[in-house]
Structures are given as C-alpha cells and as structure tokens.
Structure 1
Amino acid sequence: MSEKQPTSELLQRYLDGTCSDAERKLIDDWYQRLDNEDYATLSDQEILRDLDHVQKKIGLAKPGVPRWLYYVAAATVLIAMGVFLRLAWEPSTSPDHVTGVPLAAKDILPGSDQATLTLSDGRIITLDETNEHPIKGESGAYTIQHVADGIRYDKSGSPVPADPLTPQYHTLETPIGKQVRLTLPDGSNVWLNARSSLTYAANNFEEARTVRLEGEAYFDIFHDTSNPFRVVTEEQIITVLGTKFNVNSYPDELGTTTTLVSGKVEVKPQNGAGLVQLSSGQQAFVDADGMTTHVQSAHIDAAIAWTIGLFKFEGNTIDEVMRQLGRWYDVAIVFEGPKPSTKLWGEVHRNAPAEIPLKLLDFFNFKHEVSLVNGKPRIVIFNQLKKEVKQ
C-alpha cells in the first residue's frame, strides 16, 4: 500500500457517502480551506501545518519513513483532494455541465416492449410491437411466435426433430428502457426487465430447464417434480420445482436479490458454502462475490411492481431509486457531492414521462437538473442536505 492510499480511500468513502461523521467533517474543513485560499500561494509553514493536521487525524506517517518524503506524498494527495472536491461540489467546473442543453423532464419518455433475440446460427432478430411474425428455428423443430402479449415457442406440427446433443442456445436481450415477456418451450413464463439478458438451450429445453440471467426477471415456472428448473446468475444458482419469484441481478447492484412470491426455491451462492431454502414472502441476498447469503422478509409488492407497470419504493435509498429510473428512461445519473442515505417511499406508474417519478425528489427536498449531454438525457442530483437524518 502506498503512503497516499489511505487518504485516497477516505476521499472515495466521502464521495460515496459512506464515511463517518468525523471523517466527513475533516474533509469538509479541508475543502473550506481549499475553497477560500489559493493553495499555491500558501507558505511552507502553512503547508506543513496542514499536513501535520492530516497526519494526526488519519495517521498516514509510519515509523522509519523520512518526514520529508511523507510531506511530498501527502501534499500530492491533499492537492488532488482539492481538485476532486471542486469537481464534485462545483457544477460549473464540469465540462459536461457546460455543454449540457436544458431538457424538460416531460420530454423523457418511458420504455416499451422490445427485445432482440440472438439465435445459435448467429441471426439477430429485433422483436417489437410492430413485427408480429413466426421465426423458424435453426433445426426446423419449432417456430418462435412474437405475439401481442410477448414471445413464445411453438413446437406443434414441426416435422424435424431437434438434436438434443447439440444445444441451440438463444439469448433474449432487452436494451435500456425496454422489457418483454417470454414463454419458454416448457411453458414457463418469464418477464424480462430493462437492460437484461436471458440465455437458454431452445431445442432441448424441456430436459435442461436451465437459464442464465443477467439483469432482472420475474419467473412463473411450469411445475415438473421430476425435472427442476434452474436460474443461474453470476453470484448464485436457484433451483425450483414450480413457483413464482423475482431475481434482480444487475451488475451495478451490490449483489443478487431473489424474492419468492409463492412456492419454494433453493438458493446456492456460486462461491460460498451452504444452501438456503426460501418460503413464500422471503428474500435472499447474495453479495457480489457470490459468497454470503442473507435471508429476510420481503416487500413482495415492491419487488414485482415493475411487472405490472409500477415503480414502488419502500425505504429505498435515492441511489437505488435512480438506478431503476436510469435503466427505464435511458438516462445518465450523476450525483453532485456524496450520495445521500435518505430513504424514499412512493409509487409511480412506469408509463409516465420522467417528470412524474422525479417529483419524488422534490418531495424529499432534493434539487435536480435535467439536461441533454452529447445527445443523451442526464439527471444531476445535488446533495443539499448538510446533515442527514439517520433512519
């Protein structure tokens, strides 16, 4: 570890909003000094005084390290801190802020039903509300029907049998701001949320009954006692017989959350020991390392609200809320200053323009700004709260 790494870690915790009150006050004090004085004009004595303050508060200096070397390293970090803090707290210094064009939130429209299907022969098919037509499978053993209520596989009347020894993997993907419903070859139904993908062997699915998920999906599984259904994510493996459950496994979340609506499922972390069995109304969280599993009571309505066209927040942080909005409205989310830990409650229709869910920010006294930067909508949230109320 370098001499300046601990200070860098403190700065990162400050920007993430995870540092302690004492650490936050320390950096606020530094920022105020850097904001009021030109650091380049300070005398040697003033610089040494500041660095002594850093050393005493954080304990950077170690036995055997020459004091002059410590000052050089710490001075570099302190000056870099000033640059980072100015960028974080002064919107006018951000290049994006200068080039951003003001945009009305009412002009940011919600997502819709759309997806792409990649077949094992390399064909990529765009599926949306305007192209309802059958797609012939690679082996001729099935057709894929894109109908009003989603996508489904149909094997009736197919004269050519599938080769079970050669899996034909299909990948269904939804971009940001889109979602789709899929009926798998075994009759199980899957609702795939925005920016998600589902991979499965289409030709012998009734035997394999395994899908790989990235993102979020709600499953209504066809019951087959002799052949369990499996959902594989980066962090875990879920085994089910017949049940309804939601899986949130986005890469930008802290881990994978499995919420059981009805029935029973088994959750096994990919890299950890043990197996957890969930009952209806429970929720399992597996951390991003695929090691630890935590079980708790679930807010079922909130977890599956997206499947019925709602955002529903039950004490979510503003960071969690904005990740959901960003994926659905295809907008970049920027926080000016540390991310607040304030909890939000509310329910909003997903088919409304972005100005409707953004009213939640106004209700909880968060100032925000909407603009167009390089052709992409961006929402900036300003942390106006000097002292956050602990929930």
Structure 2
Amino acid sequence: MTRPPQTSRDLTPDHVLPPQSRRGRGVSTNQPGRFESHDRIAIDDGWEIEEDIPQIRTEVRPEIARSLITYNRSPDLPFDRSINVYRGCEHGCVYCFARPSHAYLGLSPGLDFETRLTARMNGAEVLEKELRARSYKVAPIAMGTNTDPYQPVEHQLKLTRACLSVLSDYNHPTAIVTKGAGILNDLDILSDMAARGLVAVGISVTTLDPALSRKMEPRVPPPAKRLAVIRALAQAGIPVRLMVSPVVPGLTDTEVEAILTAGHEAGARSASWIMLRLPAEVAPLVETWLRDSHPDRADKVLNRLRDMHGGKLYEAQWGKRMRGQGVYAQMIAARFDAARRRLGLDEATVPLRTDLFRPPPRPGDQLDLFG
C-alpha cells in the first residue's frame, strides 16, 4: 500500500514485530524509511494455524567500496574526516542517531539497521590508496562516528583492525569512538600508536544501571565492562575520553556526576557529553520504546526534549543539535562542567601528531638517500 509521511503515530501495533522474533534487539518495528513509497505490515490470513515465528538473525552483506574517507564541514565536530567500515550496527542502541542512514540503502532504520549490516570488505585497501594519493593532506581521522567499529561482527571480520594497521603503518593520527569491548583485541596496535602520539579513544557510557543499559543498548557491553575497557586502555598508555552520551532527560540525567566519577576512577583523562538527539526516523522509534518500557516517564522525556528544541523533538541546526537550548540544557551543561572540573577531567587533551605521517615504502620504490 502507498505510505504516507512518517510520524510517531505510524508505529501502530500492526507494525510491531512479535517479541519472540526480536529478542535481544533494540526496537520493536521494521517500518520502511522515509524514501520508501510503500509500507508492509503483517495481517492475519484467516487460517487458524499456529505457526512458529523465527527469531530475526543478523545478516552481513559484503560491499566493495570505491572510497572510504568521508569529509564533513560541520562546526559541531572536532574532525573533518572519518571512516566507517560497517553500515548498520548490531549493538541496537534504540537512540542511535545513525539509524536514518539505513534509509539511503532502501532498508529500515528500525530492525534492519541492527540486523542487516553491510561490511566494506576491501576497506583497508581503499584506505591505503586514499592515503597514498599525492593530493592527500593529513589530519586526524575519526573512526566510529556513524556506526561502532567494534560491534560484534568485528570479532569475525576484523575490518577495523585491518584499517587500524594501515593507519599505524602510515603514522596517521586517529581518534576512535566505541562502546565495544572488542577494542581490547587491538591493544597491540593501539599502544604502539599511542607511544607515537597517534591515537586517542572515546568510550561512551550512557548509564551505570545495567538493567536500563540492557533495555536501551541490548547488545552493548554492560556499563561495568565499559569502565573496565577504559581502565585497560589507560593502563596501556592510551589516552581515553569518557563520553556521557547521550544524556536522556528524565531518564539518565541524574547520573551525570556518577558517570564522570566512575570514568575518572577508571582512568579517563577527559570527558564530553551530548544530549539525546532524535533525527528523522529515530524520534518515533524512541517514542514507541519509551511508551512501552517507561510509560510513566515517556511524556516527561519527550516534553523536555521539546522544551530544548523550540517545541520540536529535534532541531538539526548547527550549534544547537548536540546540546539543545534553554534552562534545562544550561543546567545539564553547568552540572557537567562543575563535576568535570572537580575531577580534573577538563584538562586540554594533547593534539594528535600529524608531523610523522608518511606513506611506507613499497617494493620497487626508489630509496630516499636523504631521508
């Protein structure tokens, strides 16, 4: 059937998949993205036959990439380029701002985003080609800005590790953002890069409550494990930034100071925060999740978001989308800044080195007599 523009009210019971089929997943629906003209819903065929409903499994589709480095000009971001070897993320964070990107693939930002993944199998080769280009100008590359580079599929494919090896060989500065404990599998590369001033890692901790984390981030390591990851990275000499991200108003906002304290004790050197963002298809997914899992708090969360975005659930304008505006947003910022100063997490981070960048020699290359 032809599909009207999407709103939170589109997520009717007809769109919700049975619990047994989506066990361990972040959202309950698989509604098509905003570019699709048709919708698909389950209906009773009239046959009174009990049928087994299979659990949704993760599928990984290989992709041959033509480019890997993506450039941006956003004043909200501290970097101008990033790489993502995976599209979609099995972590299944219900609030993930990257979910709408799956609509560009003709897939649902809902369950498709966390179950139908794309892996850029030749990512390391393409990255090396781009870094070796004569026109390339070095600046820190961010990994994990859209989907997590250490989501579960990385354990088998090791595409992030392959790209990290290339960046290390080229002495290229790299900033990584992750929730995944799999980053510890790459401690050998990361510690070596850190010794050269080439890497920094951001670990996101949304809540210290394992039950709430399980509901919001079903396939992410629990909070205690993420703090252990911070500790292991710090002990290996790798600078770690604690990311209180996202702050969910009316749900996790009371934990800001506690999260900062726990991160500091684990060895984080700096900290940052971002308010919950609900772009495009994320808004109805989160609203449905809230009304299902926290019906007593749903209106409080949504109303606070509207207060910060001029009556809307989200404002995409630069300078406003990450933190919001108004009294509540200012209060969270003040609390965060006070706790960060008290804990010594407000010290300026040492810039990653760019002066060491150099493509490694290839077999047959002429040697540099003066290098």
TM range (shorter): under 0.3
Answer 1 or 2: which has greater helix percent: 2
Whose strand fraction is larger, Structure 1's or Structure 2's?
1
Relative contact order (C-alpha < 8 Å, sep 6+): which is higher?
A: 2
Q: TM-score, normalised by structure 2?
A: 0.25
- The TM-score, its normalising length taken from structure 1, stands at 0.24
